[in-house]
Amino acid sequence: MKQNNMAFTYLRRVYLGDTDAAGVVYFAKGLEICHEAYEQSLSKAGISLMQMINQGKTALPIVHAEIDFLRPLFCGDQLQVSLNVSQVNNSEFAIAYEIFSVNDLNQILVKAQTKHVCINPQIRKRINLPSMMLEWLNYFQ
């Protein structure tokens, strides 16, 4: 597995709608925050998800996701999400996420990972990652 140290971070505030009845970020919202960071990293590299979807030749579904909350996240918390990407093979990549409070970047609050597979959405078969995604994997080196 090729590992890249991707120098991309995403800042986000926790909103009330991100929290559950216990007042903490719900696990699915945690993954949503990570996905927002992924989308922002693509945008930063000049990749348009809207264009990819409209062309209908490439899809990058998540086939595995996991998240560990090491500390709770509360409404109003200011977060920094850091990404680390790796190419698994010709048709797969993984993203490791670490979420920190902007007030203490030495303590990881959340760790998450998603694994994506590149497919042709018309025939639902694996295809090689397109050059734009290979460039994204190397963008921040």
Asked whether the predicted pLDDT for residue 2 surpasses 70, the reply is no
Q: What is the pTM of this model?
A: 0.91
Q: Is the pLDDT of residue 1 over 80?
A: no
Reading the block at residue 4, the tokens are 């890249």
Q: List the beta strands (DSSP E) in 26-123.
A: 62-69, 78-89, 92-101, 104-117, 119-120
- Who wins on pLDDT, 8 or 110? 110
115-135 pLDDT per residue, tens: 999 999 999 999 999 999 999
pLDDT at residue 140, as a whole number: 57
| Beta carbons of 114 and 96 less than 8 angstroms apart | no
Which two three-digit tokens encode residue 82? 């850091």
How far from 1 is each of 5, 14, 89, 94, CA to CA, in Å? 13, 33, 7, 10
Q: Where are the alpha helices (DSSP H) in the chain?
A: 27-44, 49-55, 131-138
pLDDT at 43: 94
CA 96 distance to own-chain centroid? 7
Active-site amino acid positions: 20
Map out the domains of the chain with their CATH numbers. Answer: 2-138 (3.10.129.10)
Instruction: Quickly state the pLDDT bin for 136 (edges 50, 70, 90).
Output: very high
Over residues 107-113, the mean pLDDT reads 97
